[in-house]
Amino acid sequence: VVFTSAGTEANAMALSPGLRGSSGGPVERLLVSAVEHASVLAGGRFPVDRIGLIQVTRSGVVDLDHLKTQLKDGPPALVSIMAANNETGALQPVAEAA
């Protein structure tokens, strides 16, 4: 258990390169939905050129087809998608994305 002072600090800690994927290889890039909190969009400790945006539909829901395309385009990635948007109330398809 790690206690942080705020969500921004927790996001920066969680969004760290060097994590291992299911194959054991390092996670080298970060994919975030275009409607994430600013601290997530900033990418934590990932280099700017290793962060990709996942498009959302007009209703603010993650475009799963775009996510699939992003996942095919490079090395293993950590994907960050909020469960529910605190401003619009849009519920994200987290289970389908997983």
**Residue 26: closest CA among 14, 34, 18:** 18
Q: What is the pLDDT of residue 74?
A: 77
Domains of the chain and CATH, by start: 7-97 (3.40.640.10)
> Worst-scoring range by mean pLDDT, 16-20, 35-39, 55-59, 91-95?
16-20
**59-87 pLDDT, tens per residue?**
999 999 999 999 997 777 899 999 999 88
CA Rg value for the chain: 13
On the question of pLDDT at 95 being above 90, the answer is: yes
Strand partners, 77: 29
